[in-house]
């Protein structure tokens, strides 16, 4: 799934309390599994001069990036953090257990959604217990695996989540962030619809 959808849905699930710690944790948790691909891409593209094919077919699966990806997409790791946060939240009123719970829950949701929506480009979601990679019959982007249909559903879900979040939160900071998520989801919905109805060719297709 796209990062904005992960964040919007994660906020809706993990930060309904409206506490700043939970909101911040949910945003960072939604970003973390994907975050390390940003420096990988920037370094590979603009420092090493690699083309897109080499970046996503070779560099992504090489050390250290593949190792970092395993850790950042580890379901067991986030489950342990969620359990620890839950236990500590019962023992203290400090902000950090709420942050940790929202962070790990949103990251865990990210991992679950990715597990179900990656066909040929899955992650190792059970690190360090197993190096198993699940090849889902559904992809969030590959047309051969219902990518166009799921892309429409995902973008629509992200947009609905952003609207609900806008009504849920009153602070201008959070509303501004939610508005950005809504715009990104709307753009995703528009582009996916153009691809689905054949107005534009999907990248990699002629």
Residue 42 within a domain:
no
Residue 181 within a domain:
yes
Whether the per-residue pLDDT at 203 is higher than 70: the answer is no
The share of the chain scoring above pLDDT 70, in percent, equals: 92
For tokens 């930060």, the residue is 15
Q: In the Cβ-directed half-sphere of 157, how many Cα atoms lie within 13 Å?
A: 20
- Measured CA to CA in angstroms, residue 106 lies from 10, 49, 109, 179 at distances of 5, 34, 5, 19
* Confidence label for 205 from pLDDT (cuts 50, 70 and 90): very low
Closest by CA position to 26, among listed 165, 155, 180: 165
pTM, full prediction: 0.86
H/E stretch holding 144: none
Residue 62 within a domain:
no
Residue numbers of the domain that contains 18: 3-34+70-196
Structure confidence at residue 3 (pLDDT): 79
Nearest-Å Rg of the Cα atoms of the chain is: 18
Residue 147 within a domain:
yes
Residue 79 within a domain:
yes
Q: What is the mean pLDDT of residues 167-195?
A: 83
Residue 156 within a domain:
yes
135 or 149: whose pLDDT is higher?
135
Q: In the Cβ-directed half-sphere of 194, how many Cα atoms lie within 13 Å?
A: 11
Q: What is the mean pLDDT of residues 135-163?
A: 86
Residue 11 within a domain:
yes
Q: Number of structural domains, the chain?
A: 1
Residue 81 within a domain:
yes
């Amino acid at each position: 799934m796209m990062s904005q959808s992960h964040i919007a849905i994660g906020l809706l699930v993990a930060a309904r309390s409206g506490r700043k710690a939970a909101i911040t944790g949910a945003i960072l948790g939604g970003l973390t599994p994907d975050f390390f691909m940003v420096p990988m891409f920037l370094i590979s593209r603009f420092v090493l001069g690699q083309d897109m094919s080499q970046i996503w077919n070779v560099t992504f699966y090489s050390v250290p990036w593949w190792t970092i990806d395993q850790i950042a997409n580890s379901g067991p790791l986030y489950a342990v953090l969620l359990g620890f946060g839950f236990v500590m939240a019962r023992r203290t009123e400090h902000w950090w257990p709420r942050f940790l719970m929202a962070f790990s829950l949103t990251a865990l949701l990210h991992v679950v959604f990715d597990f179900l929506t990656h066909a040929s480009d899955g992650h190792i979601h059970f690190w360090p217990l197993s190096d198993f990679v699940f090849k889902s019959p559904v992809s969030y982007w590959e047309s051969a695996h219902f990518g166009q249909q799921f892309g429409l559903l995902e973008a629509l879900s992200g947009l609905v989540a952003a609207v609900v979040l806008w009504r849920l939160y009153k602070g201008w900071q959070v509303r501004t962030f939610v508005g950005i998520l809504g715009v990104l989801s709307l753009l995703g919905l528009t582009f996916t619809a153009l691809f689905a109805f054949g107005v534009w060719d999907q990248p990699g297709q002629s």
